[in-house]
Structure 1
Amino acid sequence: MKSSHVIILVITILCMNNGVISSPPEDPVKCTSKNTNCTITNSIGIFPDRSICEAGEVKYPSTEEELISIVATATKNNRKMKAATRYSHSIPKLACPDGKDGLLISTNNLNKVLRVDAEARTITVESGVTLRQIIAEAAEAGLALPYTPYWWGITIGGLMATGAHGSTLWDKGSAVHEYATEIRIVSPSGPEDGYAKVRVLTESDDDNQHLNAVRVSLGVLGVISRHVFYISS
């Protein structure tokens, strides 16, 4: 046996014995004093924009009610805010609120799969749910998202807001947002609405231009709290 073949064989055996160890990216939001004096940056090194964005505070709502309260308080106080996801794949400029006076709203704790309706072929999830969670829950019902991006660690809210997609021209195409049938989004509003408003946008609306706008909103129209997606067999 040639020496080069021996080396390859040894490396293969070592890899099989040791396995492959991987870990998710670090939390892109870091604060020096609990949830204040914070920074956010991109967690993926291959992206060109790795600049650090400052924020005065970060909030972690775990329910839609908490999210409404956070948005209302910030709106009433005329405070700029931006949504941040669990791993922050987007360039920091998209999630940069207003320097040390701004507020980050992380969807990290909005991470529950709420319902899988096998008969209607839909899945209802919060915006911080990862693609991996959706794939696993849909599979339990023998269903799946029609198309997905390659990495299942991204959250569905970030995936939607940035137009993430797979690769196909069949059916509606490979963009995941095309299969969203309903979206609940919390947006700033006036005092008559308590400074925050929940908008429920569906495909069945007479004018679904608002749904189309929110599908790829880059996070500028509000914070999405919940999605309903079509899943196929």
Structure 2
Amino acid sequence: MAPEASYLVSLQIRGRSNITQGEESFCLEPGEIAIVDSERPFRVGFPDSVHRILAIVPREMLSQRAPWMKDARSCRKLTLSGPYSDLARRHLVHLTRGDDDLSTSEAVLMVENLCNLLTLASAREVRPNSLAPELMMQSILTFCRQHLHNPELSPSLVASHLGISVRTLQLRFQQSGKSFGRWLLECRLEACSKDLKDPFKQGDSISTIAYRWGFNDLSHFNKAFRARFAMSPSQWRLGNQISSL
């Protein structure tokens, strides 16, 4: 049973699924994705044998990225066309392979990336004039999160990948209230802090964790970490080890 406050994301692999929620009813064909609000009544029927991938994503995590989902009282089927739908399908398949030994922080990032891709794919049906800047920002953040480990990640690299100008990228970050550099630093520090708390990462040195998330200057990392968390990385790790006993 799905936990409260979540969305069910269903990727049809084989066969068909008939899904009904609210005033919406459709047949999900192979390759199509449906998003269903688990807090509202819905029905799913299978006219023949099926194979599908089902993921549960936190309602708040997806709604923050796709605010139009909050007002939707029905299930939603994502169009097959478009690069983001294809990326979302690939990501769902990858999540179910089970051949990656992910840490807690890595697993959270994978779910966040799925929510970002679902946002971009579902927003194709929303008024483009009002969502174009938001879509662009989500695309920027998705790419950045996927490349946090790259020490060469920069505004010019991101802008070049997305086919936009550096000025446009910087403007999008300004509108979000943070500069590119500040956002990137905070994300990397947060990822490092989670790895330092992860019991499965206790064998990794602090420098290994810092370099894993894109830092290439250990002195800068230590200074930035202390400024963010009011303690050194080693103190942070030790404090979390003691609290878990």
The answer to whether the superposition gives a TM-score over 0.5 is no
**Quick check: which one's strand share is greater?**
1
TM-score, normalised via structure 2 length: 0.25
Q: What TM-score does the superposition give when structure 1 sets the normalisation length?
A: 0.26
